[in-house]
Amino acid sequence: MIKVIHLPLITNIVEKINNNMELEEIEELETQKTFLQFREENDFINIDIETEYNHNKIKDTIRINKCNEKCFDVVLLTTDVVGEFSIVEVYSKISDSNFSFGVSNGSLTKKIARVLFNTEDDIIIYIFDRCSDIDGFENIERNSDISLTAQLIEYSKWLSVLFPKIKKKGKMLKQVDLYNSVSYLEAQVDVLTKIVLAIAPQSNLTNVLRYAENNSVLNIKPLEDVIKELDICKGKLRKKQEDYYGELQE
């Protein structure tokens, strides 16, 4: 079954002058800006999308294989004159908020929908724009008192298991200095380069390593200091990883 979560259209009370030149209050329903239709076809789901950009209607169909566990956003990417739809996976990495698109050099104009597939759960779709109920599917009103992720977790066992793991990994990585980690890896590579040059016969490849050795960190830092830093800092990182994997087993 497909479950669709969205906010309903708003009914506004506006004042207008009627034909008798009298002022009266009239109920006006908010204009729907985005329309979606979902069509299941064997192992695929087709999402028909229609929205507006720069007063132009944009229509397209996105076809998705629903057999894999995943969650993604359907987004509208635009340039100055055109728009096209694309999909971006979410909950697949820590920095989900840092979208990086490689489509038409466009920029993210709006999110259309979030779609969550799991082989054991219902298909869950959240529509970012307000809209009317979609016929043929279970319509659920968006609970604005909780986050979108929290509401999706209510309907997805898969996400309820996955998301705490993402949070734990994010907590661990926030305690890791990425720049220090790169420096330690570089020092380790410089040590390995010196070893290789000492035992390998000269060739075009070793000439490349010899050039790299001219800029080795060992030329500016005593080997004892490198060993000390690797022992302390890499040891701390391994301990954090050990704690992280231990929590995952709980």
Segment 230-241, tens digit of pLDDT: 777 777 778 877
Q: Which of 165, 172, 163, 180 is nearest to 241 (CA)?
A: 172
Q: For residue 16, name the pLDDT band (cuts at 50, 70, 90).
A: low
Q: How far apart are CA 237 and CA 156, in angstroms?
A: 33
The pairing of beta strand 56-65 with beta strand 107-117: unpaired
Segment 139-165, tens digit of pLDDT: 999 998 999 989 999 988 888 888 888
pLDDT value at position 108? 62
Structure tokens at 85: 């739809």
Q: How far apart are CA 123 and CA 1, in angstroms?
A: 6
Q: What is the mean pLDDT of residues 174-199?
A: 86
Q: How far apart are CA 128 and CA 114, in angstroms?
A: 8
Q: At what angle do helices 157-174 and 235-248 cross, to 10 degrees?
A: 160
Residues whose CB falls within 8 Å of the CB of residue 234, separated by 6 or more in sequence, listed in order? 184
Q: What is the mean pLDDT of the chain?
A: 80
From the CB of residue 82, how many other CB atoms can be counted at a distance below 10 Å?
13
Segment 67-79, tens digit of pLDDT: 666 788 888 877 6
pLDDT value at position 70? 78
Listed range (16-20, 36-40, 136-140) with the worst mean pLDDT: 16-20
Q: How far apart are CA 126 and CA 116, in angstroms?
A: 9
Q: Is the dihedral of CA 96, 42, 141, 113 positive or negative?
A: positive
Segment 78-125, tens digit of pLDDT: 766 567 788 888 877 655 444 444 444 456 677 888 888 876 778 888
Q: Which of 246, 88, 71, 99 is nearest to 159 (CA)?
A: 71
pLDDT value at position 195? 92
Q: What is the mean pLDDT of residues 51-64?
A: 81
pLDDT value at position 193? 92
Structure tokens at 98: 């840092």
CB 116 within 8 A of CB 3: no
pLDDT value at position 89? 81
